[in-house]
């Protein structure tokens, strides 16, 4: 199950308490505070703590730009201006801490964003649970022929069934060997008093990358948005994208004006090269597009035409 019994009790206890505070709070985020959002088959994502809101972004910006006016519409407009012109430091004034349970191979992608404070579950100290990720049949894509990092058509029939069986069987077998090497059962009790068992830090190396790990991940809003601009993209790997999509909803609850600006100018916005912009201006002027004359490579040209909805 996504949550252990102890974690479920901890969350229930935390959500039953109320804390008087003078700090700004966000009701929409408080609604889901501590609660686990299920992801994949055994994973989850939950907000553990946060600091700041849209007003904190505005407050920080006004240190730089002067007091100005304080109308709500102009605060919202200021955030849009900051996002549009990539004035990033005011967004660093907000922070959030997440508790995440995720497959190890997803964690290894995630950790490449070296812009957060992370503390991960220790398999040297504790025994990992027998929980591993198996994709749904709809996610069993073959290797893409045009993208070395992507998937193509979905496997079907006997081939898909064989892959699913291999994934499950291999994962079950390595966990059985993991327990055997440590000489413990699933509860951690010793199996054979006559044997010592291998150290946990060594036994773990036999586990496959689809086993689940957990960590606490704390970052500021700017770096969270940078993470989401890459991992919530349709081209991102499905298994990390589903976490990013859940995080988008968290951002929308937490800082709705910032989310609105992020969606408008980054998530659904388009960046063009100088040559690409010349092609667009030519189209506006009624000039037929020409790849050879544009100076763009064939790949750049295909990407630009796709952005403009003019695929051949």
Which residues are known to be catalytic? 231
User: What CA–CA distance (Å, rounded) separates 133 from 275?
Assistant: 44
33 secondary structure, DSSP code: T
User: What CA–CA distance (Å, rounded) separates 143 from 145?
Assistant: 6
Task: Give the helix/strand (H/E) hosting 28.
Answer: helix 27-30
Neighbour tally for 298: CB within 10 Å: 9
Tokens of 261: 């600006």
89 SS3 class: helix
Q: Which residues contact 95 (CB under 8 A, 6 or more apart)?
A: 50, 51, 52, 218, 219, 220, 221
User: What CA–CA distance (Å, rounded) separates 118 from 215?
Assistant: 7
Closest CA to 212 of 185, 181, 239, 231: 239
Residue 116 burial (CB < 10 Å; 0-12/13-18/19+)? buried
Closest CA to 127 of 191, 177, 194, 201: 201
């Amino acid at each position: 199950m996504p949550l252990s019994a102890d974690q479920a009790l901890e969350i229930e206890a935390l959500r039953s308490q109320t804390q008087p505070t003078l700090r700004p709070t966000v009701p929409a985020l408080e609604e889901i505070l501590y609660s686990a959002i299920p992801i994949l088959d055994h994973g989850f994502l939950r907000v553990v703590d946060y600091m700041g809101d849209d007003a904190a972004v505005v407050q920080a910006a006004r240190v730089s730009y002067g007091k100005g006016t304080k109308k709500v519409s102009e605060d919202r407009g200021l955030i849009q201006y900051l996002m549009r012109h990539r004035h990033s430091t005011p967004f660093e004034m907000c922070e959030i801490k997440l508790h995440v349970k995720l497959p190890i191979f997803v964690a290894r992608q995630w950790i490449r964003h070296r812009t957060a404070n992370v503390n991960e579950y220790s398999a040297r100290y504790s025994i990992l649970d027998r929980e591993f990720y198996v994709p749904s049949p709809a996610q069993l894509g073959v290797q893409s022929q045009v993208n070395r990092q992507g998937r193509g058509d979905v496997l079907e029939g006997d081939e898909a069934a064989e892959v699913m069986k291999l994934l499950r069987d291999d994962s079950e077998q390595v966990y059985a060997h993991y327990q055997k090497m440590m000489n413990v059962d699933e509860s951690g009790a010793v199996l054979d008093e006559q044997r010592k068992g291998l150290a946990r830090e060594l036994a773990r190396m036999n586990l496959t990358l689809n086993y689940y790990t957990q960590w606490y991940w704390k970052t500021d809003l700017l770096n969270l948005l940078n993470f989401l601009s890459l991992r919530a993209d349709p081209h991102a790997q499905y298994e990390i994208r589903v976490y990013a999509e859940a995080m988008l909803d968290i951002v929308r609850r937490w800082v709705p004006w910032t989310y609105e600006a992020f969606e408008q100018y980054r998530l659904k916005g388009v960046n063009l090269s100088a040559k690409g912009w010349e092609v667009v201006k030519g189209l506006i002027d009624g000039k037929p597009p020409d790849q050879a004359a544009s100076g763009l490579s064939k790949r750049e040209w295909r990407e630009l035409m796709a952005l403009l909805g003019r695929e051949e």
